[in-house]
C-alpha cells in the first residue's frame, strides 16, 4: 500500500510538473508573439509616418482615411496630425468596440499611439521628398500599403477608418480587406480635393487608395496563398508516393471516371507552394507521362502543414 501511495504521489507531481512546463512554454510563446506584434507595429508605423508626413504632406494631395482628415486639419489649422488622429479615434473606437473585440481594440490603441508619436515627433526630423507628384503618389501608395499590411497581419491597426474597416470585416468576413478600405476612403479623398480645389490631387489620392487596396490584399492573401495540382491518372497510389517523395506533401485521391468510355480514374489533389507544385509537376511528367495535370492558383490554403495568417476576426 505504501508503494502504491508513493507511485500515486509521484504521478501527481509529474502531472503538476508537466502542467507547469506547459504554462512556461505557453508564456514563452506569448512573449514571442507579443514581441512580433510590437516589432511589426513599430516598423509599420514608421513606414506610414514617413510616407504620410515626408512624402504625401509635402506633395499636397489628399490622403485616405483618418490620416487624410488629419492632413486637412494640419493644412488648414496646423493641428498636429498625430494628436488630431487620436482625438478623432475616440468616438469611433467607442462605437465600433463591440464589433471589433477588446483584444483588437487594445492592440490598435497601442499601435495608434506609436504611429501618432512617430508622425508628430520622428517624421519631422527626417528629410522630405519634394519631387514629382506622381512618383510621390506611387511611393505613398505602394510603400505605405506595406506598412498597413505589416500591422494588419498581426491583428492590429492604426485606428481611425481601420476600426470601421475591421468592424465591417467582422460582420462581412468574406469581403476583401482592401476593397472595404477603398470604399471607406473615397469620401475623404473627395473632401480634401474639394476643400483645396485640387482636381489633380483627387486623382493622385485615388491612385494611392487603389494601390493601398491592391497591395494590402496581395500581401495578406499572398501569405496564405499557394497552388493546387489535380492529377488525373490510373495509378493514384504511385502518384501519391512520388508526391510525398519529391516534396513531402500529403495528397488526396478522388475517384473519378472518364467522360467518354467511363473508365475508372484516380484524381490526385495536391496543395503546396509554387516550388512544391513545380517539383510535383516535373516528377509526375517523368514517372507518369500519360497523366493529365491541371495547375491552379489558390488564394488561401489552410490546414496541417500550412501557416495561416489571420486578420482581425477573420
**CB atoms closer than 10 angstroms to residue 292:** 11
Q: What is the pLDDT along the chain (314 residues), one digit of tens a residue?
A: 444 444 444 444 444 444 444 444 456 788 888 899 999 999 999 999 999 999 999 999 888 888 889 999 999 999 999 999 999 988 888 877 777 778 888 888 899 999 999 999 999 999 999 999 999 999 999 999 999 999 988 888 888 777 777 777 777 777 776 677 677 778 889 999 999 999 999 999 999 988 988 888 778 766 666 789 999 999 999 999 999 999 888 899 999 998 888 899 999 999 988 888 989 999 999 999 999 999 998 877 777 666 555 554 44
* Domain boundaries along the sequence of the chain: 25-223, 226-298
Q: If phi over 0 gives left and psi between -120 and 50 gives alpha, with beta otherwise, what is residue 65? A: left
Cβ within 8 Å of residue 45, ≥6 positions away: 111, 114, 115, 118, 147, 151, 158
Judge residue 185's burial from the number of C-beta atoms within 10 Å of its C-beta, 0-12 exposed, 13-18 middle, 19 or more buried. buried
Strand 292-298 to strand 252-257: parallel, antiparallel, or no bridges (unpaired)?
Answer: unpaired
* CATH no. for 226-298: 3.30.70.120
Which helix (H) or strand (E) covers residue 297, if one does? strand 292-298
Amino acid at each position: 500500500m505504501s508503494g502504491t501511495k508513493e507511485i500515486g504521489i509521484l504521478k501527481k507531481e509529474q502531472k503538476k510538473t508537466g502542467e507547469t512546463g506547459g504554462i512556461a512554454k505557453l508564456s514563452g510563446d506569448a512573449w514571442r508573439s507579443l514581441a512580433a506584434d510590437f516589432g511589426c507595429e513599430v516598423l509599420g508605423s514608421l513606414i506610414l509616418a514617413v510616407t504620410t508626413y515626408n512624402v504625401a504632406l509635402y506633395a499636397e494631395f489628399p490622403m485616405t482615411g483618418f490620416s487624410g482628415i488629419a492632413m486637412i486639419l494640419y493644412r488648414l489649422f496646423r493641428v498636429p496630425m498625430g494628436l488630431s488622429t487620436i482625438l478623432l479615434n475616440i468616438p469611433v473606437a467607442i462605437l465600433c468596440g463591440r464589433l471589433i473585440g477588446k483584444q483588437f481594440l487594445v492592440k490598435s490603441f497601442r499601435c495608434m499611439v506609436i504611429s501618432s508619436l512617430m508622425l508628430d515627433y520622428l517624421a519631422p526630423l527626417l528629410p522630405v521628398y519634394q519631387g514629382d507628384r506622381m512618383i510621390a503618389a506611387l511611393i505613398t501608395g505602394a510603400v505605405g500599403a506595406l506598412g498597413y499590411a505589416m500591422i494588419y497581419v498581426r491583428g492590429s491597426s492604426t485606428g481611425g477608418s481601420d476600426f470601421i474597416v475591421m468592424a465591417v470585416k467582422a460582420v462581412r468576413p468574406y469581403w476583401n480587406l482592401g476593397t472595404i478600405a477603398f470604399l471607406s476612403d473615397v469620401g475623404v479623398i473627395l473632401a480634401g480635393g474639394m476643400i483645396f480645389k485640387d482636381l489633380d490631387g483627387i486623382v493622385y489620392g485615388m491612385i494611392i487608395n487603389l494601390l493601398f487596396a491592391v497591395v494590402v490584399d496581395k500581401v495578406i492573401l499572398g501569405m496564405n496563398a499557394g497552388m493546387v495540382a489535380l492529377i488525373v491518372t490510373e495509378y493514384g497510389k504511385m502518384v501519391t508516393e512520388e508526391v510525398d517523395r519529391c516534396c513531402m506533401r500529403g495528397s488526396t485521391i478522388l475517384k473519378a471516371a472518364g467522360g467518354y468510355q467511363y473508365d475508372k480514374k484516380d484524381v490526385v489533389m495536391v496543395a503546396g507552394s509554387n516550388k512544391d507544385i513545380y517539383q510535383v509537376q516535373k516528377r509526375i511528367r517523368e514517372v507518369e507521362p500519360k497523366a493529365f495535370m491541371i495547375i491552379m492558383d489558390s488564394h488561401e490554403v489552410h490546414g496541417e502543414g500550412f501557416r495561416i495568417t489571420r486578420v482581425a476576426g477573420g
